[in-house]
Amino acid sequence: MRLPLLPRLISMVYEALIVGGVLMAAGLPFVMLTRYGQHPEFRTAYQIYLFLVMGLYFCYFWHRSGQTVPMKTWRLRLVDAQGHPPSWSRCLLRYLLAWPGLLTGASLVWALLDREGQFLHDRLLGLRLVREARVQA
């Protein structure tokens, strides 16, 4: 069954809001310890630090349950071929491989053309985004 693109896009917007907060909270200690405002030479180190914090955020949740908070909200789950949350190594590779496709828009184009609506980086890693069924109360 083809996974619709719209819930994933909405989830990405929601994710950006949460990640923004995570990065602000994580950035504060770095800025205070390095006095970044007075030492702009730390810019590259700061960017690498935030990239690593963001990677840790995503990999932790993908590995733990296959879902970040926005993914739970939109009933999306990342699974491997056996239906389990991915390993740490696959989570890390997914994080790294997703960036080029996200920045260029190639991931969205691929998802539109893919027979199951999957992103290219997930296809390459043997992962799938699946939509969970609604829970009836």
Phi, psi of 128 (to 5 degrees): -140, 145
Query: What CA–CA distance (Å, rounded) separates 81 from 125?
Result: 10
Instruction: List pLDDT tens digits, range 28-51.
Output: 999 888 887 778 888 899 999 999
The fraction of the chain above a pLDDT of 70, given in percent, is: 99
Mean pLDDT of 85-114: 95
| Residue 79 burial (CB count, 10 A) | 17
| Tokens representing residue 35 in the block | 């006095």
Give the list of residues 6+ apart from residue 96 with CB closer than 8 angstroms, or none.
55
